[in-house]
Homo-oligomer: A and B are copies of this chain.
Amino acid sequence: MYELLKKYISNRTQINDEQMDFICSFFKPLQTKRNEILVRYEETCQQYYFVNKGCIRIFTINKEGIETSRFFAFEGGFGTALPSFIDQQPAYEYVQTIEKSELLVISRTNFYNLVTTIPEFGLIYRAILELGFITAQKRIYGFQGFDALEKVQWIIANQPHFLLRVSNKMAASYLGISPSTLSRIKSKL
């Protein structure tokens, strides 16, 4: 149950078994269904999710009803409505499992307690933030000034499994192009 999470942590910092088990004891298993919503728009996010199996999607819907996907967390990754989790303001987004999934959930309180009391876990959080920041930057760079074809090539180069794993519609809403355009581009390679 905790193998992936332990691997995630031990890959990023040195930590003894006792502390590892202590950390894991705050993560509770959660089974979810396809398309289950974990955090709703305007809800304040109180949990951090680790994906053991399945996939989490973070997305939003604007006033015209258009969906934008912001982030996908697959097996072995963390995901939540991080801006809301951090500053405890209502989320401008939804958190959803797009497949039947198996998650490990930690409450915000316990998460920040671990960050504060266990320096190694503080490092983990720092690494999450650093990586999140770098990923967001790459996405801005990756998309700004790119046409639709270049965006698709970019995602293939940077996240090879992405197009195989998520639906056309969701992929298009992540890339900021219409499903029709994505479909046309894929048909030409």
How many monomers of this protein are in the complex? 2
Question: What 0/1 readout, one digit per residue, does chain A (122-144) give for beta carbons within 8 Å of chain B?
Answer: 10011001101110111111001
A77 contacts chain B at the CB level, 8 A cutoff: no
Give Cα A126–Cα B129 distance, bound, in whole angstroms: 8
B70 touches A134 (CB 8 A): no
A176: nearest residue on chain B (CB-CB)? B144
B66 touches A140 (CB 8 A): no
A62: chain B residues within 8 A (beta carbon): 145
A92 contacts chain B at the CB level, 8 A cutoff: yes
B126 touches A68 (CB 8 A): no
B176 touches A137 (CB 8 A): no
Known: A86-B130, A130-B86. A140 touches B141 (CB 8 A): no
Chain A interface residue bracket vs B: 20 to 34
A141: chain B residues within 8 A (beta carbon): 60, 68, 70, 92-93
Within 8 A of B (CB), among A101-133: 122, 125-126, 129-130, 132-133
Known: A129-B126, A129-B133, A140-B139. A145 touches B82 (CB 8 A): no
Interface centre among A122, A130, A133, A141 (most CB of B within 10 A): A133
Q: Please give the distance in Å from A69's CB to the nearest CB on chain B.
A: 9
Shortest 10 CB-CB contacts between residues of A and residues of B: A136-B136, A129-B129, A83-B134, A144-B176, A68-B144, A132-B133, A133-B133, A86-B130, A66-B145, A83-B137
